Amino acid sequence: MSLGTTATLSTGAKIPLRGYGTWQAEPGQVGEGVYLALKAGYRHLDLAKIYQNQKEVGEGIRKAFAEFGIKREDVFILWANNVSADRLPSSGTELGLEYLDLYLIHWPVAFKSNKQINNLFPRQAGNEKLVEIDDSISIIDTWTAMTKLPKSKARAVGVSNYSIEHLEAIINATGVVPSVLQIERHPYLPNPPLIEYAQKKGIHVTAYSGFGNNSIGWPLIITRPEVKEVAESASKRTGTTVTPAQVLLAWAQVGSISVIPKSVTASRIVENFIEVELTPEEIAKIDALGKENKRFNVPGSVNDPLWPINIFGTPEENEHPEFHKVIISK
Ligand SMILES: NC(=O)c1ccc[n+]([C@@H]2O[C@H](COP(=O)([O-])OP(=O)(O)OC[C@H]3O[C@@H](n4cnc5c(N)ncnc54)[C@H](OP(=O)(O)O)[C@@H]3O)[C@@H](O)[C@H]2O)c1
């Protein structure tokens, strides 16, 4: 069973700490995944325009709502979009929803506008492998536009993949503090300074890639012997089977952080919804994995097409001095 743990956003809205992610959930799988997640009890869905599966996600939501009598207000739905300030939609989404509980700026980067409808990743002329980045739009421009969205359509606004420097800049420029910060976070990338900064400002933190996404071929963190050992000790302690995935999700939620595991596998969707609590010793064993210090989601080295921008200052990004920088202000 889920413990149904929630956090309260600065807006007063409640966000369930255990959510369901939809990135790399292929068309043909994602609608069923969302449907099964709602059936299992998830009431927090993480959706995004660039996952290119929105129509089917909307169908899965409508099917589950109809079959299980779920009401729109029962589910916290967030949608991340990566548009430039001049293209923020003022209302609605292709999901077919009347409003969003949270609207996130997905990345601190703007792409060149492109006349082709639905071209999410405008390519550089002469280099189709690279997205064309627009340095004329700053993150302050985009955040300023976000703060003006009607509350009836976007009940809360937030950001994703922003650093302390980025957050400081947008808050200082507008006086508006994002309600949520969504970041890559798992035992290999615990990021205490960013979390401490966000929480001091009253920003709720959501962790993505809680298992350490396998986009670069590293085994998921679930497979680490240390995680398996904690799962075994927690199983003995509680008298029920606690899995490595449940251990990582419990670790993620320490400090009232929400986490949004993705799975399109029916049994794992159910498994990942079960919340367990870890002892301080068990938490410390997982904390020890932090010495890996590994970020997986680096758009300049894993995305297709690549985004030639240095966002996090990782070794992979720093190898490319020609990369764009995050435009903080103009
Ligand atoms: N804001 C952002 O920039 C951003 C970036 C990345 C992700 N996100 C969000 O965060 C969500 C989660 O992150 P993620 O998709 O990168 O990675 P993740 O949830 O850490 O890992 C997903 C992988 O784990 C597997 N998995 C799931 N449950 C499992 C279990 N119980 N046992 C074994 N394997 C399991 C999944 O396989 P199957 O699906 O085959 O079961 C999939 O291969 C995304 O879906 C997306 O919604 C946001």
How is residue 116 written in tokens? 């082709």
Mean pLDDT over all residues of the chain? 93
Residues 296 and 38: their CA atoms lie apart, in Å, by 28
Residues 209 and 60: their CA atoms lie apart, in Å, by 22
> Is there a binding annotation on residue 106?
yes
Atom of ligand 1 nearest to the CA of 261: 19
Q: Whose CA is nearest to atom 25 of ligand 1?
A: 263
pLDDT digits (tens, 9 = 90+) for 175-224: 999 999 999 999 999 999 999 999 999 999 999 999 997 778 899 999 99
pLDDT for 66 beyond 70? yes
56 phi-psi bin (left φ>0, alpha ψ -120 to 50, beta other): alpha
Q: Whose CA is nearest to atom 37 of ligand 1?
A: 263
- pLDDT given at position 245: 98
Choose the residue to mutate in 53, 107, 180, 213 for probing ligand 1, maximizing ligand atoms within 8 Å of C-beta: 213
- pLDDT given at position 89: 65
- pLDDT given at position 104: 94
Cis peptide, bond prior to residue 305, ω within 30 of zero: yes
Q: Within a 10 A sphere around the Cβ of 35, how many other Cβ atoms?
A: 21
Domain ranges of the chain: 6-325
Q: Is the CB of 297 under 6 A from ligand 1?
A: yes
pLDDT digits (tens, 9 = 90+) for 236-294: 999 999 999 999 999 999 999 999 999 999 999 999 999 999 999 999 999 999 998 89
Quick check: helix, strand or coil at residue 164?
Answer: helix
pLDDT for 37 beyond 80? yes
Residues 80 and 206: their CA atoms lie apart, in Å, by 13
Q: How confident is the model at residue 27 (pLDDT cuts 50, 70, 90)?
A: confident
Domain formed by 6-325, architecture: Alpha-Beta Barrel (3.20)
Q: pTM value?
A: 0.97
Task: Please give the C-alpha separations between residue 53 and each of 62, 90, 118, 136, in angstroms, as whole numbers.
Answer: 15, 21, 12, 29
Residues 310 and 166: their CA atoms lie apart, in Å, by 13
* Strand duo 180-184 + 204-208: pairing: parallel
pLDDT digits (tens, 9 = 90+) for 119-150: 788 888 888 899 999 999 999 999 999 999 98
51 annotated active-site: yes
Residues 232 and 249: their CA atoms lie apart, in Å, by 15
For the chain, give the percent of residues with pLDDT over 90.
78
- pLDDT given at position 87: 64
- pLDDT given at position 88: 66
- pLDDT given at position 94: 77
Catalytic residue among 35, 42, 51, 103: 51
